[in-house]
Amino acid sequence: MKDKVLILGGDGYLGWPTAMNLSNLGYSVAVLDNYFKRWIFNKLGITPLIDCPNLQERANIWKGLTGNDIKVYVGDIGEQDFLFKVVKEFEPDTIIHYGEIPSAPYSMLNHNTSWETIQNNLGATLAVMWAIKTINPDIHLIKLGTMGEYGTPNIDIEEGFMEIEQSGRKDRLPFPKLPGSFYHLSKVQDSDMLYLGVRMWGLRVTDLNQGPVYGIETAESRMDKENRLMPHFHYDEFWGTVLNRFITQAVVGIPLTVYGKGGQKRGFLNIIDTLQCVRLAVQNPANKGEFRVMNQFTEIFSVNELSEKVKAAAKNLGIDVTTKNYPNPRKEAEEHYYNAKNTNLLSLGLQPNYLTEKVITEMLEIVMENKKNIRQDIILPGRAKWQ
């Protein structure tokens, strides 16, 4: 009998694909979500490329395809009675915590959205920590952090900690953080809280500092020919990550929206590698009293490099793609040093799926099949500014 895994934020771009992947591998899986992101989408008037049925409907489809149950809980992580009830009833060995508002642009929109992001994200993490401490401190918590916690310092980025020597003394201390949005700041604050929980209560925590993810399908989503198990693929200026946006723009004939000079570098990964990394973390839990940080990306690219890759792949499909440099709606370095380490997951056995022309071509083809759903009115930057 494999472990029981509770996935918080099970409705999201990564939550549902993770649930199917672990269920397929024989884990007993439950998902929890309050559909808050769907509420924000309605408020902002944005839609994903492919409509996703609700969690119970997807769990029923999954059961029909595989015979496996995925248990569904609908509610707010931040409500203590609800979360405690779920943890007591399901008795997870591992909790994967994706249950946060994940958008930097949304967090910078106005006072309300920055407070919503901070309150929701910190409240959720704190509630999960207390649930684990109170109900079963042995539960391994896998928390989705972000590479954006580090910012873009002019030195190599370590995985969470670094040796510091000062006035002749040495210590291993958390790597300095320079987040670039209230969203990224909320992840820094999450990490600080979790490390406190590890030091004070002996929790076992893995913090996965992930870079921007790309991709539109996984082995499990392909199992349903009607596309009802696909991830929530976003291409709007609030939720779409840069490569997913570029692919959509190429298909619909809009010049790729390079912000500023396009020299911004980030560590990227395919959604199927997110599943691989999270799976490796489940299979190799942190020790009791350990705050383990792993940088979760496979390759570093600048925005300009990504746009060139999309152009080249689209050309082979007969699509002529251009780029346009927009005044940057964000405050960020547009030319900078970037060398982040990512050896922890590789040493656990991560086999990277790199961003080849074939991968981009396959993404372009799937988006082309769904071209009729693309809404041009939500693509261009305009509403989401760093003020």
Q: What does the DSSP assignment read for 183-202?
A: HHHHHHHHHHHHHHHHHHH-
Q: Which amino acid type is present at position 108? A: M
Q: How many CB atoms lie within 10 A of CB 261?
A: 14
Site membership for ligand USQ, residue 257 (CB under 6 A):
yes
Choices 87-95, 131-139, 146-154, 343-351; region in contact with ligand USQ by CB under 6 A = 146-154
CB of 95 to ligand USQ, least distance (A): 19
CA atoms within 13 A on the CB side of 18: 31
Site for ligand USQ (CB under 6 A): which residue of 70, 188, 303, 360?
Answer: 303
Q: What are phi and psi of 292, to 5 degrees?
A: -100, 125
How many chain residues bind ligand USQ (CB under 6 A)?
A: 21
Closest residue (Cβ) to ligand USQ? 148
CB of 241 to ligand USQ, least distance (A): 4
CB of 382 to ligand USQ, least distance (A): 11
CB of 51 to ligand USQ, least distance (A): 20
Q: Which residue, 102, 297, 94, is CA-closest to 205?
A: 94
What does the alpha-carbon distance between residue 100 and residue 186 come to, in Å, rounded to a whole number?
A: 10
Site for ligand USQ (CB under 6 A): which residue of 259, 291, 301, 338?
Answer: 259
Site for ligand USQ (CB under 6 A): which residue of 71, 97, 204, 245?
Answer: 245
Site for ligand USQ (CB under 6 A): which residue of 258, 277, 313, 350?
Answer: 258
Catalytic residues: 146, 183, 187
What does the alpha-carbon distance between residue 116 and residue 109 come to, in Å, rounded to a whole number?
A: 11
Q: How many CB atoms lie within 10 A of CB 226?
A: 8
Q: Which residue, 124, 271, 121, is CA-closest to 184?
A: 121
Q: Which amino acid type is present at position 173? A: L
CB of 266 to ligand USQ, least distance (A): 5
> Which residues have CB under 8 Å from 336's CB, separation 6+?
152, 154, 263, 264, 265
Choices 45-53, 101-109, 217-225, 354-362; region in contact with ligand USQ by CB under 6 A = 101-109
How, if at all, do strands 213-214 and 265-270 pair?
Answer: parallel
- Positions in 319-338 near ligand USQ (CB under 6 A): 330, 332
Site membership for ligand USQ, residue 264 (CB under 6 A):
yes
Choices 30-38, 73-81, 96-104, 109-117; region in contact with ligand USQ by CB under 6 A = 96-104
- β partners of residue 4: 28
Q: Which residue number, 28 or 248, has a Cβ lying nearer to ligand USQ? A: 248
Site for ligand USQ (CB under 6 A): which residue of 204, 266, 292, 309?
Answer: 266
Burial level of 295, CB count in 10 A (0-12/13-18/19+)? buried
**Per-residue string for binding with ligand USQ, 179-218, x by CB under 6 A?**
-----x-------------------------xxx------
**Residues engaged in binding ligand USQ (CB under 6 A):** 102-104, 146-148, 184, 210-212, 241-242, 245, 257-259, 264, 266, 303, 330, 332
